[in-house]
Structure 1
């Protein structure tokens, strides 16, 4: 917990997917062991599991995140970055998970390598927060328009940056995370 009463796990090894999930859920729901178990369930016959680092330090892929969310009754909806963020009904998702480029560093030394990093964003008690595990504490983003700006900036960092909307099964089925001219889309 940070000073504002928000749950916030800090980066450890390559466990950003676990931290992003827990920060999004605002509780310590997942661990390295539970994420490794999900990897085994996804590829039970694999000697070298394709869903995590060969070294066993984490670096979990999107399949692990999606399976973890399913275990909590949630769904991940991939945001098509060709769509304007103005079409996003930001109040419908439980939160957001970004996959963005991140520099690799050893202490104060920044290496010329880039890895992928999972980041959670969620509305808590009014404003939206950046719950990135690489931050010392959560950073307040603000309201809906500030969130759209933040998400747009993150997606523009790299052409491979991705955004997942974390939604309930009902919101996924309705498609109500998408705004139409008449309001949230309902299938």
Structure 2
């Protein structure tokens, strides 16, 4: 799955084959893809992205059916050591491995351990409380259709 996803994202006009400029990518070619690319790429490997309603308590996440998370956060733009007064959006992936959730942010030198389920919820709450950001749940299509990523009994 990972290799197939990489190959599709590498293709310059994968979502817009007839377009001269790719409307889903930054004009600067920095890889700043919009959400349509992420959703289509996940769909191509049998997965779905579910938008999390930030008004819901994070305790309603049914973590068993969720394969990972993608967070869209504001990010400062820097040139070398100089931080510019411009902000753009940055995608950050979170995934569980061996019972521990990891922050897979490409701006980190290595994956950063977050911890178990309770630490993940605290981490996500901290991210969501920082301002304009979005949370996507990465789930199999069956989980999306059944809505089993959500525990409304809480």
Tell me the TM-score normalized by structure 2.
0.91
2:38 matched residue in structure 1: 65
1:129 matched residue in structure 2: 102
Partners in 1 of 2:48 and 2:79 — Cα distance? 35
1:18 matched residue in structure 2: none
2:145 matched residue in structure 1: 173
Q: Quick one: which of 59, 63, 70 aligns to 1:97?
A: 70
SS at match of 1:65: helix
SS at match of 2:73: strand
Gaps of 5+ in 2: none
Counterparts in 2 of 1:85 and 1:67: CA distance versus 1, 3 Å: same
Structure 1, residues 84-124: CA drift from partner, whole Å, max 9, x if none?
A: 11111122111000000011111211111111000000001
Structure 1, residues 39-75: CA drift from partner, whole Å, max 9, x if none?
A: 324xx3x343321112333211000000100111100
Structure 1, residues 123-163: CA drift from partner, whole Å, max 9, x if none?
A: 011100000000010111001111011111111111x2000
Matches within 5 A, 1:91-170: 91-158=64-131, 160-170=132-142
- Is the strand fraction higher in 1 or 2? 2
Q: How many pairs were matched up? A: 153
Gaps of 5+ in 1: 1-21
CA-atom RMSD in angstroms: 1.9
Deviation at 1:169, TM superposition (A): 0.7
Are the equivalent residues in 2 in contact too, given 1:38–1:68 (CA < 8 A)? no
